[in-house]
């Protein structure tokens, strides 16, 4: 199966009342773990790539080449999109050029008029190339790969203005945060989500910060129109924990040589387990 845009997967998710997972990837193990798990569970999947992760993996073209190779060699038949996560203006253009099938332009740090003008331009480009486009209104709190947001709730009228431009999906801040939620977190603002939904109708909404949101809130968010949920930190934690445990257990490496494939194997399995849990929770398993 070739890479595809996220448009059809998300429309099916809206109709079927489930969410497609965006699993952020950082290297070959991450990408392989996400793809093979989606295939085993017969689930669509979106591979998220931040600008930092793109640089780490030797550039966007390398990412596209690696994932395309895996789709063929691992015989992946479920729908897969490669999506730029929180892209700047320039990164969106670079990813489109590199062959990404989906991009996020994050103009939430710009004044709304600038966000609208830039998003409008990307709607035209993406439509002409059959790519999906995510826009953002109201920043997501916390820090991800150097992108810091203070976490305001989105203004529903601004969401409507962006939605009316013809984007494929919209990330609206509703109190969600990247990474670990603080102990005094107030929870998701479902009032904001309802108000946004009322303004944007059937447009798929995106929930960032999918690590650590309680199960009941995830389910409620999906019931109110969230069709894509992003997960990054949870896979990083799973990977780190499994790798540390392996190193602890194998302290004495003298005489054994050093095989990086053995070192990375427990982390790979841990990411697979984390992805499986999310695909089942979000309801996309069995929906490919």
Region 212-271 residues binding ligand 13P, contact defined as CB under 6 A = 230-234
Region 121-150 residues binding ligand 13P, contact defined as CB under 6 A = 144
115 binds ligand 13P (CB under 6 A): no
| Distance (Å) of CA 166 to CA 99, 119, 131 | 21, 9, 12
Give the residue from 30, 3, 18 showing the smallest Cα distance to 264.
Answer: 30
| Rounded Cα gap, residues 254 and 18, in angstroms | 50
| Distance (Å) of CA 5 to CA 9, 156, 177, 266 | 8, 26, 26, 31
DSSP 8-state secondary structure symbol assigned to residue 84: E
| Rounded Cα gap, residues 275 and 211, in angstroms | 11
85 binds ligand 13P (CB under 6 A): yes
Q: Please, which residue, 66 or 274, has the CB nearer to ligand 13P? A: 274
Q: Token pair 């949920």 is at which residue? A: 229
Q: Which residue in 87, 156, 175, 209 binds ligand 13P (CB under 6 A)?
A: 209
Q: How far is the CB of 147 from ligand 13P (least distance, A)?
A: 9
Tell me, residue by residue from 147 to 186, as one string, x for binding to ligand 13P by CB under 6 A and - for no binding.
Answer: -------------------------------xx-------
Binding segment for ligand 13P among 6-14, 63-71, 111-119, 204-212 (CB under 6 A)? 204-212
Q: Please, which residue, 263 or 276, has the CB nearer to ligand 13P? A: 276
- CA 137 distance to own-chain centroid: 16
Q: Cβ distance 131 to 97 under 8 Å?
A: no
Is 85 a known active-site residue?
A: yes
Q: How far is the CB of 159 from ligand 13P (least distance, A)?
A: 18
102 binds ligand 13P (CB under 6 A): no
Q: Which residue in 5, 7, 24, 284 binds ligand 13P (CB under 6 A)?
A: 24
* H/E stretch holding 107: none
Give the relative orientation of helices 260-282 and 215-223 as an angle to the nearest 10 degrees. Answer: 50
208 binds ligand 13P (CB under 6 A): yes
Question: Of 15, 85, 97, 259, which residue is the catalytic one?
Answer: 85
Number of H helices, E strands in the chain: 11, 10
Residues that bind ligand 13P (CB under 6 A): 24, 48, 85-86, 144, 178-179, 208-211, 230-234
Residue numbers annotated as active site = 85
């Amino acid at each position: 199966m070739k890479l595809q845009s996220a448009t059809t997967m998300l429309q099916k998710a809206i109709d079927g009342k489930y969410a497609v997972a965006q699993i952020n990837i950082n290297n070959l193990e991450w990408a392989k773990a996400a793809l093979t798990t989606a295939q085993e569970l017969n689930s669509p999947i979106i591979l998220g790539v931040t600008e930092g992760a793109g640089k780490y993996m030797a550039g966007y073209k390398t990412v596209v080449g690696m994932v395309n190779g895996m789709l063929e060699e691992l015989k992946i038949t479920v729908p897969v999109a490669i999506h730029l996560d929180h892209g700047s203006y320039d990164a969106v253009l670079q990813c489109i050029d590199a062959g990404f099938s989906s991009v996020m332009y994050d103009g939430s740090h710009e004044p709304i008029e600038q966000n609208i003008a830039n998003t409008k331009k990307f709607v035209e480009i993406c439509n002409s190339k059959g790519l999906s486009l995510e826009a953002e209104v109201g920043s997501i709190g916390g820090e991800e790969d150097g992108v810091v947001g203070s976490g305001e709730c989105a203004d529903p009228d601004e969401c409507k203005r962006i939605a009316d431009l013809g984007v494929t999906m919209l990330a609206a801040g509703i109190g969600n945060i990247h990474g670990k939620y603080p102990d005094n977190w107030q929870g998701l603002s479902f009032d904001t989500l309802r108000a946004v939904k009322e303004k944007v109708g059937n447009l798929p909404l995106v929930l960032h910060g999918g690590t650590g949101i309680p199960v009941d809130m995830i389910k409620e968010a999906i019931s109110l129109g969230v069709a894509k949920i992003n997960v990054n930190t949870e896979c990083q934690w799973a990977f780190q924990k499994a790798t540390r445990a392996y190193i602890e257990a194998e302290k004495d490496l003298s005489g054994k040589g050093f095989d990086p494939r053995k070192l990375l194997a427990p982390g790979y399995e841990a990411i697979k387990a984390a992805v499986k849990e999310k695909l089942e929770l979000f309801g996309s398993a069995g929906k490919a």
